[in-house]
Amino acid sequence: MNEFKVKKGLIVQGSGSTLLDIQGSQGQLFSITDDLTGTLFSVSDISGVPILDVDAGGEVNIDGNLHITDNVGIGTTSPDFNLDINGDVRIEDSHFLRFGGNVSNTEWAIQHTGTNLNFAEVGVADARLYLKAGGNVGIGTASPTKKISVTDTSGTFEVAHFTTNSGGCYTRNTDSIASVETGVQGGKWSARTGNVQRLVIDSTGKVSIGSTVASHQLEVVGDIGVSRSSGIVFTGSTFSGSSITANTSNTLILATRLAGSPYTQTEVMHLTAAGDVGIGTNSPSYKLDIAGEGRFTGNLRCLSLIQTSQRDKKKEITDIKRTTGKKVLFKQFKYIESIDPSGVLRYGAIAEDIQGEYPELVYTDSDGELGVNYIDLLIKRVAELEQELEDATQGLTINQTVAIDNKGNTQVLRFVNGLLQEPENTKK
């Protein structure tokens, strides 16, 4: 092996452009030239393949990894970090700026693709954050259609989580008309406009509109507007599907549907715009118009009690004849406290006493209690009494005359079949 040592200073002069050329067993290892249009300095590996060269224009080409143990400055002579750049950095399209120790454990990468910027979790998911040209931002989507578009396929249904130590946490949207805020404060979610809470949902799920506290699942302070055809539908185990709606005549309709039955509602009550209420009829003509039986457990107050009495509404019309059965024994009584706590003395018949002789006057209601049709009973008794009076006076001649005594008193003298009856005195 030929060796030479230089203790101090080395001046090399060569022929042509090559100033220094060091060859190894496999090829050129090191060369220096004074070619002002080509490579000035070149380093090759042991096989002669160039790995570093510097050309006359100042460009440095490295073929292989570059390991630097100190700070590197680009555009600065005093780098404070491992890589300190004073100027712009450009990464060619579709290439990544990667973060991680090495290729195998790189977790995040930023890529410029087309006109967009993609933040990817390498090996897991693309477009964790995606900035689209024009300003739309996508989270979990590379196709944001709004300023912020969020797509979550994890099934957790939690796309945002805001935490604050005190004072609540709100998001604010402001336009030229008003500022709208939504967020959480004191364990309640609320929506505010003009710094006033308009909608509140508390920790138990109760909702209040126009109020900050709800005593029921939904509490509204103010008017409620409901679509006429949609109305209000009730759900539950028994009357699921029952509803309150309105028709084109502004009539309010209450309809019911029993659970388990075909989805067919039965209209049971109508309240017209004029204030008439119909139960069992959809065209009430009176303030209360009921098609069917009714029951009152309290007093029924009215000026007149009128029954249908038109001739063409009746059949089998005959005169009332005197009943040969036993007489109706009217009683005085008081109702038990659960029916009438007033303790008022009343008069009437006992249903069980007349049920056998007058079954047509006794009714049994849906819970088995007996009642008496007093109107029919009283009409029947009046007709019978008239018949009894007529029978008692049949064949009798009754004459009356008026006499005045010497004191000016008037007396009515009554003669039956010529016999004077007890006189009736009448004051002057």
Measured between alpha carbons, how far is residue 244 from residues 80, 121, 231, 248, 270 in Å?
76, 54, 6, 14, 10
Q: Which of 11, 59, 16, 51 is nearest to 35 (CA)?
A: 16
Supply φ then ψ for residue 294, to 5 degrees: -130, 160
Strands 96-99 and 277-279: unpaired
Measured between alpha carbons, how far is residue 65 from residues 45, 51, 62 in Å?
13, 9, 8
26 or 244, which is more confident:
244
Strands 116-121 and 125-131: antiparallel
280-323 pLDDT tens trace: 998 999 999 999 888 888 888 888 888 888 999 989 999 888 77
Q: Which of 147, 148, 115, 157 is nearest to 139 (CA)?
A: 148
Cα 47 → chain centroid: 78
What's the per-residue H, E or C state across the chain?
CCCCCCCCCCCCCCCCCEEEEEECCCCEEEEEECCCCCEEEEEECCCCCEEEEEECCCCEEECCCCCCCCCEEECCCCCCCCEEECCCCCCCCCCEEEECCCHHHCCEEEEEECCEEEEEECCCEEEEEEECCCCCEEECCCCCCCCEEECCCCCCCCCCCCCCCCCCEEEEEECCCCEEEEEEECCEEEEEECCEEEEEECCCCCEEECCCCCCCCEEECCCCCCCCCCCEECCCCCCCCCEEEECCCCCEEEEECCCCCCCCCEEEEEECCCCCEEECCCCCCCCEEECCCCCCCCCCCCCCCCCCCCHHHCCCCCCCCCCCCCCCCCEEECCCCCCCCCCCCEEECCHHHHCCCCHHHEEECCCCCEEECHHHHHHHHHHHHHHHHHHHHCCCCEEEEEEECCCCCEEEEEEECCEECCCEEECC
Specify the pLDDT at position 395. Answer: 62
Joined tokens for residue 325:
């059965």
- The pLDDT of residue 424 is above 80: no
What distance, in Å, lies between the first and last C-alpha atoms of the chain?
Answer: 177
Cα 247 → chain centroid: 23
Q: Which of 76, 93, 77 is nearest to 85 (CA)?
A: 76
Specify the pLDDT at position 277. Answer: 95
Specify the pLDDT at position 193. Answer: 83
Measured between alpha carbons, how far is residue 125 from residues 17, 110, 139, 230, 315 in Å?
55, 13, 11, 45, 88
- The pLDDT of residue 426 is above 60: no
390 or 25, which is more confident:
390
**Tokens 């009690």 appear where?**
305
Tell me if 73 sits within 8 A of 86, measured CB to CB.
yes
- The pLDDT of residue 2 is above 60: no
Specify the pLDDT at position 45. Answer: 75
Beta carbons within 8 Å of 205's beta carbon, 6+ residues apart: 217
Q: Which of 279, 243, 241 is nearest to 258 (CA)?
A: 241
Tell me if 232 sits within 8 A of 244, measured CB to CB.
yes
- The pLDDT of residue 383 is above 90: no
194-209 pLDDT tens trace: 778 888 998 889 999 9
Specify the pLDDT at position 362. Answer: 93
Measured between alpha carbons, how far is residue 241 from residues 113, 140, 237, 248, 260 in Å?
54, 40, 10, 21, 10
Domain chopping of the chain, boundaries: 18-67, 92-157, 179-222, 225-293, 331-393, 395-428
97-108 pLDDT tens trace: 888 766 666 688
Specify the pLDDT at position 86. Answer: 94
Specify the pLDDT at position 418. Answer: 60
Tell me if 245 sits within 8 A of 231, measured CB to CB.
yes
pLDDT tier, 275 (very low <50, low <70, confident <90, very high otherwise): very high
Least confident of 24-33, 281-290, 315-324, 418-427: 418-427
Least confident of 142-151, 240-249, 395-404: 395-404
Specify the pLDDT at position 400. Answer: 61
34-51 pLDDT tens trace: 766 777 777 777 777 777
- The pLDDT of residue 135 is above 90: yes
Specify the pLDDT at position 409. Answer: 73
Specify the pLDDT at position 174. Answer: 73
CA distance 339 to 346: 13
- The pLDDT of residue 25 is above 70: no
What is the rounded average pLDDT of the residues 218-223? 90
- The pLDDT of residue 85 is above 60: yes
- Dihedral (C-alpha) 10, 11, 13, 17: value to the nearest 10 degrees? 80
